[in-house]
């Protein structure tokens, strides 16, 4: 399928509203014929076969490099599949291999139930796009939907039916390693990205050969661990749970997501995989979710370590009755629950209901029609030119220009020699970032390669790594100084290696690691024009760089087209338009610092000692949420709102004129924030409620209209009721501000 045709089919309206305004998606079809087949299967299955369908295990053993071990593991795995003891596999790749596994289930097992094959396709399959945090920096849901569509096409062509994405956890502590996998700190932006990725992965028809079932994870509040330490305790108010962490999941459900994944963490004393409140009361009874829930890797049996379950049998019982339908990687369901049913401690109807949900998704995905993959498709679509072109577009749209003093960027045509300095400048692995699926380092365009290709023969480009990313070796700095003095300009490429963020990779400090800060100081001391390009999986605390290096471009981990995308921006072929999806602190000790914070009774004042601030660093962030520069300039004018007084069931229309007052065409993200001035519980100082990204030509003025549902301005009160309270609101769009009122 040509990418142009795919993208044409994805023509959807720009998401510019709060999650409450997303249209309800159709639920999984409950066609009588399908329901009858499900009923017949359940009636014919033994208890052990039912629990087998609720079990997912690792499926790549047969790809071991040792042929003897390979055959043994393959035989064991195929035997389990034929016996009906496995309903899903993860980690299996490649059409031929997955077809072999599927044949054992669909043709050689007693009930001919296909296996659903899942993988972590987080930000691309083989064509690797920017990490999701970078994707969120585009503030462009349409573009992210296109990216996810490409990921689905490639993954499906290689035998994957189900992706463990999107991760929609809200994170306000960038020490947490998995901040890289989400959309940042804000529930409105996070919800928009969740919807875009669900739609992209699942397409218009789940039965289509190029669609995969999406899985919103990690349900819920996994992004708020104490100390930013992965898997740690989460202790938050119920209001924060419902108003901040749940909305992106609800948006994914409304978008028709097929599955959710329960989380590792506990939520106020109850592990996510054992929380009947979140898994059943909220998810199914209130939201009407009718897909199935899979646990995260061994999170069911880890409830023993939490101190919430006595043993594996107890863990399995609590998880299944709470609402986890499928167990990933551990085997308490398959091994322990039969005895509990026989002893009368577990009603088999609970097993049947979980099984029904799993089978319904398999039918919806078309697996009972044709579970096989045509091996020829992968050769045509995987890492094809059209996919790489889109990867470049997403990557350059994700780049955030943080500083551009003296117009050091874009690089002037008068520059004839460039020193590309830094340990990440010629790295091929690190731009892929965390969870890069089956992406290959040798397919990455490095920053150095991108600069050299764009600079051409008339510009001398020399490179010195100078130091390690995080080690103490700085023996290359003297050579870097020599090369810098002999060059017209310095491009510093600094940041984090790919293994410094992601699952299990939390950091206690988020400053530049190793000797990189010293390298930046030395390069700045040469007196040459310096631009810092920062590759990282999280926000970094870079106060000296932010205040002393003239040009700072934040690139995240941008994927296979890393170097080309960065060169596009450095040389001015693409006007940077990325905006931060998460706040950048001045120091690790400021964390958490985020846009939608509360004001307190003593808000910070510079000259008042007894107010909420620090004595050693400003309370303000280095760079706020939503920030990002351009090579052009924009002016906001004539802000208006209608009506100025609206009912709780009404809609607010905010209109503003945005003019491009510079010499270059550019994209601007028009962001609307509100503050509820007085509430029955305190409200944040600012909340994002709507946004829209617009392209504006030089000298052009566009009128941007944002519609905001009054219902989206509500919150959960002390009694945990969702309310839209009457009162005055202040709102901002750009540097314009106004007021409106919600009436009784």
Choosing from 173, 296, 430, 568, which is the catalytic residue? Answer: 296
709, burial (CB in 10 Å: exposed 0-12, middle 13-18, buried 19+)? buried
Furthest CA-CA distance within the chain:
82
CA end-to-end span of the chain: 54
Which distant-in-sequence residues (6+ apart) come within 8 Å of 328 by Cβ?
56, 90, 261, 294, 295, 296, 297, 298, 299, 300
C-beta neighbour count of 618 within 10 angstroms = 14
Instruction: Indicate if the alpha-carbon torsion angle 32, 36, 38, 42 is positive or negative.
Output: positive
C-beta neighbour count of 476 within 10 angstroms = 18
**Beta strand 551-554 pairing with 400-404:** antiparallel
Strands (E), 272-347: 292-294, 327-328
Helices (H), 27-66: 32-44, 47-53
Comparing CA positions, the residue from 197, 147, 193 lying closest to residue 170 is 193
Q: Decide if 290 contacts 52 (C-beta within 8 A).
A: no
C-beta neighbour count of 737 within 10 angstroms = 12
Instruction: Indicate if the alpha-carbon torsion angle 323, 327, 330, 336 is positive or negative.
Output: positive
Chain centroid to CA 619:
28
Reduced to 3 states (helix: H, G, I; strand: E, B; else coil), residue 65 is coil
Q: Output the 3-class SS for 214-274.
A: CEEEEECCCCCCHHHCCCCCECCCHHHHHHHHCHHHHHHHHCCCCEEEECCCEECCEEHHH
Q: Decide if 104 contacts 89 (C-beta within 8 A).
A: no
Comparing CA positions, the residue from 507, 564, 554 lying closest to residue 533 is 554
Across-strand partners of 492? Answer: 421, 532
Which distant-in-sequence residues (6+ apart) come within 8 Å of 495 by Cβ?
424, 469, 512, 516, 534, 535, 536, 540, 555
Say whether 296 is catalytic: yes
Residue where the block lists tokens 């409105």: 188
The catalytic residues are 296
């Amino acid at each position: 399928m040509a990418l142009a045709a795919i993208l044409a089919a994805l023509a959807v309206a720009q998401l510019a509203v709060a999650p409450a305004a997303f249209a309800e998606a159709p639920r999984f079809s409950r066609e009588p014929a399908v329901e009858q087949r499900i009923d017949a299967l359940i009636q014919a299955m033994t208890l052990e076969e039912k629990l087998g369908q609720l079990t997912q295990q690792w499926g790549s053993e047969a790809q071991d490099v040792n042929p003897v071990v390979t055959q043994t593991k393959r035989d064991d795995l195929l035997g389990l599949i034929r016996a009906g003891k496995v309903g899903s596999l993860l980690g299996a790749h490649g059409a031929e291999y997955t077809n072999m596994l599927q044949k054992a289930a669909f043709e050689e097992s007693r009930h001919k139930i296909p296996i659903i094959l899942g993988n972590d396709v987080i930000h691309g399959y083989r064509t690797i796009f920017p990490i999701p945090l970078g994707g969120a920096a585009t503030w462009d849901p349409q573009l992210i939907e296109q990216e996810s569509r490409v990921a689905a096409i490639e993954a499906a062509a290689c035998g994957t039916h189900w992706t463990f994405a999107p991760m929609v956890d809200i994170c306000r502590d960038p020490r947490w390693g998995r901040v890289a996998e989400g959309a940042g700190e804000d529930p409105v932006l996070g919800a928009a990205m969740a919807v875009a990725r669900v739609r992209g992965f699942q397409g218009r028809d789940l039965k289509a050969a190029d669609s995969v079932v999406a899985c919103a994870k990690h349900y819920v509040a996994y992004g708020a661990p104490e100390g930013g330490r992965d898997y740690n305790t989460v202790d938050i108010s119920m209001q924060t749970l419902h108003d901040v962490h749940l909305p992106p999941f609800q948006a994914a459900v409304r978008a028709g997501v097929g599955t959710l994944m329960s989380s590792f963490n506990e939520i106020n004393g109850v592990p996510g995989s054992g929380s009947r409140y979140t898994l059943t009361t909220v998810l199914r009874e209130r939201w009407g979710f009718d897909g199935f829930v899979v646990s995260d890797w061994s999170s069911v049996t880890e409830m023993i370590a939490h101190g919430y379950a006595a043993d594996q049998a107890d863990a399995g019982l609590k998880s299944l009755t709470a609402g986890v339908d499928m167990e990933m990687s551990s085997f308490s369901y398959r091994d322990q629950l039969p005895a509990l049913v026989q002893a009368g401690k577990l009603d088999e109807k609970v097993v049947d209901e979980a099984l029904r949900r799993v089978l319904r998704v398999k039918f919806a995905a078309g697996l009972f029609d044709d579970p096989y993959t045509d091996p020829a498709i992968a050769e045509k679509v995987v890492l094809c030119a059209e996919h790489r072109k889109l990867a470049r577009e997403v990557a350059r749209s994700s780049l955030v220009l943080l500083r551009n003093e003296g117009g050091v960027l874009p690089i002037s045509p008068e520059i004839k020699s460039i020193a590309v300095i830094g340990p990440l400048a010629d790295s091929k692995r690190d731009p892929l970032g965390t969870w890069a699926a089956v992406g290959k380092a040798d397919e990455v365009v490095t920053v150095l390669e991108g600069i050299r290709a764009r600079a051409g023969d008339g510009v001398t480009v020399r490179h010195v790594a100078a130091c390690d990313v995080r080690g103490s070796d700085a023996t290359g700095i003297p050579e870097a100084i020599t090369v810098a003095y002999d060059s017209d300009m310095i491009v510093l490429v600094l940041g984090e290696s790919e293994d410094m963020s992601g699952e299990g990779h939390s950091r206690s400090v988020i400053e530049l690691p190793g000797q990189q800060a010293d390298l930046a100081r030395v390069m700045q001391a040469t007196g040459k024009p310096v631009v810092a390009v920062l590759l990282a999986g999280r926000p970094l605390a870079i106060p000296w760089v932010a205040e002393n290096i003239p040009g700072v471009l934040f690139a995240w981990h941008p994927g296979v087209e890393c170097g080309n995308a960065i060169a596009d921006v450095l040389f001015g072929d693409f006007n940077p338009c990325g905006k931060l999806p998460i706040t950048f602190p001045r120091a690790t000790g400021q964390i958490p610092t985020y846009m939608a914070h509360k004001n307190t009774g003593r808000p910070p004042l510079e000259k008042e000692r007894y107010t909420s601030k620090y004595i050693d660093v400003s309370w303000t962030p280095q760079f706020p949420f939503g920030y990002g520069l351009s090579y052009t300039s924009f002016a906001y004018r004539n802000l208006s709102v209608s009506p100025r007084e609206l009912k709780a069931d009404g809609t607010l229309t905010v209109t503003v004129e945005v003019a491009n007052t510079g010499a270059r065409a550019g994209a601007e993200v028009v962001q609307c924030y509100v503050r509820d001035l007085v509430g029955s519980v305190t409200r944040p100082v600012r909340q994002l409620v709507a946004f829209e990204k617009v392209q504006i030509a030089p000298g052009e003025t566009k009128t941007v209209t944002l519609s905001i549902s009054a219902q989206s301005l509500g919150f959960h009160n002390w009694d945990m009721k969702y309310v839209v309270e009457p009162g005055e609101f202040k709102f901002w769009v750009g540097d314009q501000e106004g007021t409106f009122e919600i009436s009784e």
